Amino acid sequence: MATSLAAVGSGLDIPTLVSQLVANERKPVADRINTQGTAATTQLSAFGSIKSSLSSLQSSLAALIKSADAPAYKTTVPDGSGFNATVVTDASTGKTQASAGTYNVEVLSLAQSQKLSSGAFAADAAVGDGTLKIAWGDETLDVEIKPDSKLSDIAAAINKAAGGKGVNATIITADDGQHLVLNAVDAGTEGTLTISASGGNGGLSALTWDGSGGGLSQIVEATNARVRVDGFERESSSNSISDLIPGITLNLTEAAEGTTKTLTVSQDNSPLKINLQAFVSAYNASVNLLKSSSAYDATNDKASALTGDSLVRGLQQQLRSQLSANVVDMKALGLAIGTDGTLTLNASTFDKAMADNPAAASALLGKDGKLSSSLSSVLKSNLDSTGTLTQRTDSLNKQIKKLEKDLDDLDARMEKVSARYTAQFTAMDTLVAQMQSTSNYLTQQLSALQQAKS
């Protein structure tokens, strides 16, 4: 229809003309909105990166605080000592009850589990039926044995009833036949088994043990572990003893009565050093990101996403001020501030400082430390849900949404402009067509008059 309109009257291509006029009217407004939108999106991305970097710094600081307030310890045991030792740390607090010191340790005996064995039976021989009552400690277990049960059937019935507690049964096939072997699950005398039989045909009496005799034979006697530390003796049903030396678990591996070995417990600064180096790396990453996000390239006259931004300048100043206020204490621990504002850690200086004064780290880097407490507050005030970075990113998101709405509104307005132009040009074209028609009529009339005169 537009084409037919264009062919009448003025001969103009109205759709193309309207499209060009609308595009020219739309362009400056759309360009302004898009420019603002691009700037806001770029800033939002930059602040997102800054927020992520500072969050990593906050996490590394939290780990550093935890390790500074909860010193780690390590154990040293000579080879062939018959034991090893581990430091026990509370999983929730990261702290240990261990303290530096030396202990003279002598392993007198190891804890072992009781083992009982039956006589030989043919693989297909029916042993007996009835009830086996197995007891250990304060526990008892009744195992029903069906008639015509073979030794393997009895072992399976015991294991099913026990469910891994107290006793487990196995079958050993030797030259003379099959043997039922009962192993006490719990080491030490507390796991000692007693077994009695009742009911049935009496065949189960071959599988009894009253503590000193019976149908079964005792292959291994249950014994407790015995260890002597600094002359004080301790007996345990387990070879792992965790309540003898505070914060230390002794794992006994070999008895060596008469041989004393020295266990050394000393402070281990390596976890703290690792967390401190991670903090330094996270801090430097944040400093460098803030710098690059707000830099200005004078050579190419090019600004960065956040050049001149007051919030970025404020963040840079806050980070610098925390370090500047503690430069002396930091230097004593091997921390130095470079001319570019980044941190370095001198490992040798740190090791010496910790050897001379182990409490120095907590005083500077602990929860209530001079540097960590104030820096934690700075990061919290910027990263919290109501913090400055959140407020800025929320503001940018709102700005972007408004600009998107502005574009939608512009498109809606341009549709109305397009309709108005189309109506105006169509009316003009119609008028031109009418005028041409009138002109043609008048021309015909004049021509007719001239012919009549002649």
Collapse the DSSP code of 300 into the 3-class scheme (helix H, G, I; strand E, B; otherwise coil) and give the result: coil
Q: Are residues 20 and 60 in the same domain?
A: yes
Phi, psi torsion values for 281, nearest 5 degrees: -65, -45
HSE at residue 93, side-chain half, CA atoms within 13 A, is 10
In the chain, the percentage of residues whose pLDDT exceeds 70 is 97
Helix H or strand E segment including 4: helix 2-7
DSSP string, 383-396: HSTTSHHHHHHHHH
| pLDDT tens per residue, range 258-283 | 999 999 999 999 999 999 999 999 99
Residue 127 CA to residue 148 CA, distance in Å, equals 7
Contacts 24+ apart (CB under 8 A), 324-332: 325/370, 325/371, 325/374, 326/364, 326/370, 326/371, 329/360, 329/363, 329/364, 329/370, 329/371, 330/364, 330/371, 332/360
**Domain membership of residue 256 as a residue range:** 72-111+225-268
Q: How many domains is the chain built from?
A: 3
Q: Are residues 288 and 389 in the same domain?
A: yes
Looking at residues 212-222, what average pLDDT do you find?
A: 95
Q: Do residues 287 and 119 lie in contact, with contact meaning Cβ atoms separated by under 8 Å?
A: no
Q: Are residues 65 and 100 in the same domain?
A: no
**Amino acid at residue number 22:** V
Residue 28 CA to residue 34 CA, distance in Å, equals 10
pLDDT band at residue 453 using 50, 70 and 90 as cut-offs: confident
Q: What is the pLDDT of residue 285?
A: 97
Q: Are residues 273 and 206 in the same domain?
A: no
Q: Are residues 60 and 187 in the same domain?
A: no
Q: What is the pLDDT of residue 428?
A: 80
| pLDDT tens per residue, range 92-142 | 888 899 999 999 999 999 999 999 999 999 999 999 999 999 999 999 999
Looking at residues 72-78, what average pLDDT do you find?
A: 95
* Rg of the chain taking only CA atoms, in angstroms: 45
The distance from CA 53 to its chain's CA centroid, rounded to whole angstroms, is 16
Pair type for strands 167-174 and 225-229: unpaired
Tell the residue number behind the tokens 């460098």, with chain if given. Answer: 288
| pLDDT tens per residue, range 388-438 | 999 999 999 999 999 999 989 988 998 988 888 888 878 887 777 777 777
User: How deeply is 46 buried, as exposed, middle or buried, from its count of CB atoms within 10 A (0-12, 13-18, 19+)?
Assistant: buried
Q: Are residues 290 and 359 in the same domain?
A: yes
Residue 98 CA to residue 76 CA, distance in Å, equals 13
232-236: strand order across its sheet:
72-76, 261-268, 101-109, 225-229, 232-236
pLDDT band at residue 284 using 50, 70 and 90 as cut-offs: very high
Pair type for strands 72-76 and 261-268: antiparallel
**Amino acid at residue number 241:** I
Average pLDDT value over all residues in the chain: 91
pLDDT band at residue 1 using 50, 70 and 90 as cut-offs: very low
**Amino acid at residue number 194:** T
* CB atoms inside a 10 Å sphere around CB 223: 19
HSE at residue 305, side-chain half, CA atoms within 13 A, is 20
Q: Are residues 143 and 263 in the same domain?
A: no
Q: Which of 218, 195, 223 is nearest to 136 (CA)?
A: 195
Q: Are residues 229 and 323 in the same domain?
A: no
Q: Is the model's pLDDT at 58 over the cut of 90?
A: yes
Tell the residue number behind the tokens 């001198």, with chain if given. Answer: 346
Residue 237 CA to residue 241 CA, distance in Å, equals 9
Q: Is the model's pLDDT at 382 over the cut of 70?
A: yes
| pLDDT tens per residue, range 318-363 | 999 999 999 999 999 999 999 999 999 999 999 999 999 988 899 9
Q: Are residues 436 and 290 in the same domain?
A: yes
Tell the residue number behind the tokens 């972007």, with chain if given. Answer: 400
Q: Are residues 178 and 128 in the same domain?
A: yes
Q: Do residues 182 and 158 lie in contact, with contact meaning Cβ atoms separated by under 8 Å?
A: yes
Residue 241 CA to residue 105 CA, distance in Å, equals 13
Q: Are residues 258 and 169 in the same domain?
A: no
pLDDT band at residue 454 using 50, 70 and 90 as cut-offs: low
Q: Are residues 275 and 345 in the same domain?
A: yes
User: What sign has the CA pseudo-torsion 266, 267, 269, 275?
Assistant: positive
